[in-house]
Each structure stands twice: as structure tokens, then as C-alpha cells.
Structure 1
Amino acid sequence: MGIDLIFAADALHPPLTGIGRYSLELARRLEHSDRVARMRYFAMGQWLPSPIASLERNLEQPPDSAADLSTRPASDTLQRWRRQLSGNRVAVRAYHALSPWLFGWRLRGNRNAIFHAPNYFVPPFDGRTVSTVHDLSHIRHPEFHPRARVDYMNLALPPSLRRTDHVITVSQATRQEFLTLFPHWEEDRVTAILLAADAAFHPRSTESIAPALHMLHQTPGNRRTPDASPCPLVPGRYSLFVGTIEPRKNIDRLLTAYSQLPQTLRREYPLVIAGSQGWQSESTHRRIAQAQDEGWLHYLRFVPQTLLPHLYAGAALFIYPSLYEGFGLPIVEAMASGVPVITSATSSMPEVAGGAARLVNPLQTEDIRHAIVQCLEDTGWRSHAIQAGLQRASQFSWDTCVAQTIGTYQKLSP
């Protein structure tokens, strides 16, 4: 008998976060697995039809576009309501107290099903439960989050874990961190299942990259110059960062390091930052705007999913100096695209890089600057890093991730 699966879809809405990408890649494959007899979606107390098709359409639209709004699932109203209240600590406590029991009431009568929460939180449920814990930054680094978010995580995660039969972490580093912080959990109830890059991330020819870069230049919100201006991005002639603009991503130190490069190197290899505005990023955006005015940075507010692999493949160097990651999927996406990588020697990032990237101390601007110069100018290192990165990226697979996830379900099946 196949698995009766209930999949929490609260992260399946645009714009996709890293958790949203993980949820989407799992859901795409679980829907077609012959080991899953029935798959249902549940989000914010509502049963939903499969959100995959509408979500994939929305990934090609800017988040505030009419097309995006017209096809969002009904649960997005509640998602927006939850985000609006997230800064109110009284509202956070009320939501924490009431929502699990409301959701549990809606889920009643599914004793033979498995509930998978790919975004941490398991509501009261009669059957067996799986939770994916992506990172524990709210405990390790609460300064990287709004106070209300830390409060909510501290309130909601412990009771959620009491309702959880098995925890999936997305790296061995996060698994070890989880077992250290929650020592009463048996080790055989916590499994590390690593993520992967989509098959669309692979090396590409200059001829295929250039038109995509031109389309990105023409995307509303990305262009600071008149429509007729030529695309400033040249394949193989820019450094790249991809990620939300927020303190944890360490973009301020990246900007400082890049601003200290020789002017000729900055002009030859401008920095491209692609990512939406996150928490506490106003001053970072002012620095980004100044660097754009100085001519050595290009900011892409929105990158359609179909163009993102081309943006990666066109980079001369990918720089990801994050202060903390539970996994660090952009590292694998860059390596799979045949691009040398600089990343941090902290948390899960050395594990994910697997010796194929240049590791830096993310707190040391000079270390970041020195690595950028070396990685742009040392052709021997670049050739080695490209081949090592491709080899390392090939060791990650979404099919393997899904197979191991289903294996976890099967251990719990009644």
C-alpha cells in the first residue's frame, strides 16, 4: 500500500525562499512517485488543490505583478495577514496559541496519513509526522532576525517538536547542531537529507547566455538606464551574489571588500547582486545604489526562474560570504553552472562546498577582498575550481533527496 501524504504548503508561494524552493522540488516529485498513493496539500488551516502549476507560472512574474496576484492560492490572504502581524509581539503570541489547534481540528480524521511539514512546524495531528528543520539561526544567531520572528520560533518550535516523530535536517552540520541543542532527541530520529540544484543549472555557451542577460536588463525594476541602452552585463565578465538582502547574508562586508578592489578589476568584473529586499536592509540598499552610481555594481531586483540559471552560468565568480546557513543552495547552483565559488568557512558551507570552493572568514573584509582578487586573476585556480565544483555538484540530486525522504516516510508508515 502506498503512502497517504499530507504536505504542508505554507512555503509554496512567490517569491520563493530557499524553503519554498525545497518544498517545490519535493512536491513536484512526490506527486508523481509510485510510492505515494495519495498526496494532499494543507496550508494555514486550509486544504488546497495542488499549487504547483500556478506557482510555476508565478515564478516568471515580478512578485507585485497583476498576473501574480490573480493566480495566487486562496491561502495567500492568510499568508499576507500573518506577515502583517509578525511585527506585533502580542499578535505573535495569540497566533502561536490559537493556530495549532485550529489547524489540528481541520486535520482530524487522518490517523493513517503522514503529515510532512517542510517548513518546521507540525500542528496537532492524529497520524505520524515529519518536520524539516532547515537551520537553528533563531537560537544560534537571534540578531539575524526580527525580534517577533525569534519570539515566534522560540514559542512554536518546542511544542512542534513534541508533536514530531522524525526530523529531517538539510545538512550534517544542521543535524549535529540540532542534536546538540536538543540532546533528548534520539539520533536515529534525526536524518540529514541534503538538497540539490535543479537540472537547469549547468554550464552554458556565451551565445545562449547573452540573450538572457539582455532580457534581465529589460525586466521592469532592473533597469536604471533608458530602454535603448545596451546591456551592461557581459558573459564571463561579472561576479555574482544571489540571495535575499538581509543581515545574515553579509552583503555589507561584500560591498566593502569589492569597493576596495583595484578600480580596473571592478570595471572589468562588476558585481551583480540578485535578490529581493529583506529585513533590516535599508542601509544596504543605499550602499547598493551608491555602487551602481559609481558604475561597478548592478542590482537585479527580480530574476525570473527561467533566466536564473543563465545568470549563474554567465558569472566569472560566485561570491557567497553568508554568516550562517543551514545548507546554502546557491553554492551548489553556482558549482553546477561551472562557476568558481567563494563562500564562508562557517556552519554548513564547508560541508556543502566539499573542498571545491575558496573558503573565507566572513567577518574579515580583507580575507574576502584577497580571495576575490585571487579568484578573478588566478587562471589555474579557476580551472581547477570549475572542474572540482562540477564534480561536487554532481553528488547532489533532488531525486536522491526525494527517495531518502520517502524512505523516512516508509519507516513511519502504519
Structure 2
Amino acid sequence: MKIGIDAHVIGDKSGGNETYYRNLIEQITKLITDEEIYLYFNDLKKSSLINIDNENNIKIKSFKTSNAVKRYMKYLPDYVQKDKLDVLHLQYFPAIRKKCKIIGTIHDISFEHYPQYFTKKNLLMNKILIPALAKQADKILTVSNFSKQDISNKYGIDPDKIVVTYLAASEKYKVIKNYELLSQVRKKFNINGEFLLTVGNLQPRKNLSRLFTAYINLRNKKMIDEKLVVVGKKAWLFNDIFKFVNESKYKDDIIFTDYVSEEDLALLYNAAKLFVYPSVFEGFGLPPLEAMSCGTPVVTSNITSIPEVTGNAAVLFNPWNVEDMEEKIVTTINNKDMINKLSELGLKRSLDFSWKKTAQITLEAYHGMVT
């Protein structure tokens, strides 16, 4: 069986989309026996970012371009035909010409619910291409039961065509008690003292403006004195976020790190006193699970897929309600027993998810399409 995977997101620092493909591909290459996997990267150098097993069964190829139009109009259709693929695995966007079975990953359809959170260009692309993939794909992979129901309802897709493959935290996200390393990461990002941590690309859906409002209110009321560390690269519609912070008297205590490596992120999770995730929409929401895997207590939103992922291992708030967010943050961070309990529950909950399990279900989906 010949399986092609469009791996152009590897190395583009796109957050969850890249994390998904990187971990999925690494685990699939460990599980395959007689399958041949064709990995298509923008640049052959990007293949070094993945640890690949079963190298005899893996074929690595390059699109030789980062241009999406050339990738989908020329290179991908040519490779499908030349490599005689049985299955092509795509993420979000459809194939121009369907020459084999198509399996498509759609993490979520947040743009259908919150179009105002997207640039006009991204919204138009999503509105055209993601429904097209949903209809073109012989099978759809998504990352939660919430997303499965959402995709099915919105696009009229038979639920039996949609397979849930939960995400997982990388093995790098674990409890780290090396105090020298934890001290080094604090110095690297100029973090002095205790801090709250939030992680996610800077874009409106992550709801950072309300988190900043809650944080500033708590500082003004002298209810907390921890700093706030924000990890994530600039995505879109983020200028208002910086304007708001820069006008605050606590601007020096809100630290933006931009994108960081997994190694540094694991250390930041471990060093944080509390992880706060105020997103208003997630197909899965990896950061809370990553934090739980590090034993970091989590306070997060009570909507979309997030409660499905966190179970009973997090304190939940209404992300639209700043007062509720403030209350949950302050009552958690100032309660040592609660901090310890959440750390224990989070570690236990994180064991329910693994990339090996995700890869096994994905391989079964591949095989089910050609038998």
C-alpha cells in the first residue's frame, strides 16, 4: 500500500497543525510494516525536523517551493500519479485533481462560527477550500467528538465518514525537576519570580485581550503579583493586543516570547505556577494537555472541545466573562491544596492520550479506504 502525506507544514511554526503532522508521521513510521510512505515537504531540509524510523519504507520528496498554488496545482498531482499512491493524506485543503483515495484532516471549523477572527484572505480561503476537502475526502479525520459533530452538522457529512483521532502531548512534555535547566529558561526569557503561562499563536480566537484584562484587574486589586508569560508567534489581527498591553502600567510584567522550541516550552510549562488558556474555540486544544503532562495546574475555558480533553483535571471558566476568569485564576493560584490536586489529576489525565494511539487509528483509516 502506498500512502502519500502532504507534510508542507513541517517547519513552518504553525503551532498545532505542525505539531499534529510531526508527531503523527513519527509514530506512523514506527508502526508500518509493508506500507510505503511518501512524505512531501516544501524543502528537503525540513525532513530533518522529524525522527523517521523504517527508512527503507519511507520516500522523502520536495515540492521545491513554498508557493501553495504551485504545490497543489503542479507538484502534488504529479507526485500522486508518478508515485502511484493508493491514499493521499491532506490537511485542511483539497487536491486539485482526485487521482487516488483522499483522507483529509480537519481539526476544526472555527471560521464558520467566528468569521470576524480571520483576515478577509484567510476567511475566503477557508470558506472555499475546507468545505471542498470535507466533500472530496473519502474519509475525514478530526481531533475530538465536538469537532466531529460540528463538521457533520455544518457540511451535512455522514458521521460514519468522520474518524476521531485525539491528539497527544509530545514525550518532551513531562515533569522536569532539573532546577538548573528551569533557572536557565527563566534567564533566557527574562522572567524574574513566579509567573502564569499562556500558549498559542497571537490571534483573536485565543482570547488574549480578556486574559490581559483579567490579569491587569487582579494586579490592580493586589490579588496576585505573578508575571504573565505569553508564548506564541504573531499570527493575524494581533496589533490591538500589543496596543492594549503597551498602554498598561504592567506592560513590563507581561512577557512575550514569540515562538519557542519544544524543549524551551516544556521547561516553561514546568517553571510556571499556573497555566491559563482562555481560547473561545478549539477543535482539541493541545496546550492544556501539554501543561497537564508537565504537572502544571490548568485553568481554562469551559466551551467547545476543551472540557472533553481536560476531563476533571482542570478548573474551568466562561471565557467570555472576565470576572469569572479572574475568580478562577485567583482562587486556584492562592490555594496550595488545589494546585497540588490539579497537578496530580492533570498527570493522570494526560496518560489517556498518546501519539501511538493516534497513529494506529490513522493507519486503520488508511487501510479501511482501500480494502
When normalised by structure 2's length, the TM-score is 0.89
Residues 192-212 of structure 1, C-alpha deviation per residue, up to 9 Å, x if partnerless?
A: 110000111112226144333
Q: Which runs of 5+ in 2 are unaligned?
A: 52-60
* Equivalent residues in 2 for 1:21-60, closer than 5 Å: 21-35=19-33, 37-42=35-40, 49=44, 51-54=46-49
SS at match of 2:2: strand
Whether 1:319 and 2:276 are equivalent positions in the alignment is yes
The amino acid of 1:12's aligned partner reads I
What is the DSSP-based 3-state SS (H/G/I as helix, E as strand, rest coil) of the residue aligned with 2:169? coil
CA contact (8 A) 1:103 1:124 kept: no
Distance of 1:36 and 1:278 partners within structure 2: 40
Partner of 2:345: 388
> Which residues in structure 2 correspond to 1:239-254 (within 5 Å)?
239-254=196-211
- Rounded to whole Å, the distance in 2 between the matches of 1:77 and 1:111 is 22
* C-alpha distance in 2 between matches for 1:349 and 1:189: 23
The change in CA–CA distance for 1:381 and 1:304 in structure 2 (over 3 A counts) is same
Offset of 1:42 from its aligned partner? 2.7
Partner of residue 371 from structure 1, selected from 311, 315, 328: 328
2-side partners of 1:375 and 1:320: how far apart?
A: 14
CA deviation after TM superposition for structure 1 residue 333, in Å: 0.2
Q: 1:288 to 1:36 in 2, by over 3 A?
A: farther
Deviations 1:356-402 (A, max 9, x none): 11111111111111111011111222121111111111111011111
Which residue identity does 2:6 align to in structure 1? A
Identity %: 23
Aligned runs of 1:215-234 on 2, under 5 Å?
A: 216-217=188-189, 231-234=190-193
Tell me the CA shift for residue 214 of structure 1: 4.0
In structure 1, list runs of 5 or more residues that go unmatched: 57-72, 83-94, 218-230
Assess, with a 3 A threshold, how the Cα gap between structure 1 residues 126 and 257 changes in structure 2: closer, same or farther: same
8 A Cα contact 2:77 2:95, kept in partner: no
Residue by residue over 1:143-165, the C-alpha shift from the partner in whole angstroms, topping out at 9 and shown as x without a partner, is: 11111211112222233233211
Aligned residues: CA RMSD = 2.5
Question: Helix, strand or coil: the match of 2:296?
Answer: coil
Residue 299 of structure 1 deviates from its aligned partner by 1.7
User: More displaced, 129-138 or 376-385?
Assistant: 376-385
Q: Which moved more, 1:255-264 or 1:293-302?
A: 293-302
Q: Check if 1:142 corresponds to 2:140.
A: no
The one of 86, 91, 99 equivalent to 1:126 is 99
Query: Which AA in structure 1 matches 2:126?
Result: M
Instruction: Report how many residues are paired.
Output: 361
Task: Report the equivalent of 2:56.
Answer: none
Instruction: Name the structure 2 match of 1:91.
Output: none
Equivalents in 1 of 2:74, 2:138: separation in Å?
Answer: 18
Q: Is the 8 A contact 1:124 1:163 kept in 2?
A: no
* Aligned residue identity for 2:361: Q
Please give the alpha-carbon distance, in whole angstroms, between the structure 1 residues aligned to 2:213 and 2:307: 23
Q: CA deviation at 1:118?
A: 3.1
1:175 matched to 2:148? The reply is yes
**SS class of match (1:12):** coil
Q: How does 1:147-166 map to 2 (within 5 A)?
A: 147-166=120-139
Greater mean alpha carbon deviation, residues 272-281 or residues 198-207:
198-207
Which of the residues 321, 331, 355 maps onto 2:288? 331
CA–CA separation in structure 2 for the residues paired with 1:42 and 1:162: 23
Contact 1:216 1:307 in 2 (8 A): no
Q: Distance in 2 between matches of 1:292 and 1:117?
A: 46
Partner of 2:168: 196
* 1:205 match: 177
Name the aligned partner's letter for residue 328 of structure 1.
Answer: G
Find the aligned partners of 1:407 and 1:332 in 2 and give their Cα distance: 25
| Cα-to-partner distance string for 1:70-93 (whole Å, 9 max, x where unaligned) | xxx9757434xx5xxxxxxxxxxx
Say whether the 8 Å CA contact 2:182–2:268 is kept in structure 1: no
Assess, with a 3 A threshold, how the Cα gap between structure 1 residues 397 and 342 changes in structure 2: closer, same or farther. Answer: same
Cα distance change, pair 354–380 in 1 and its aligned pair in 2 (3 A): same
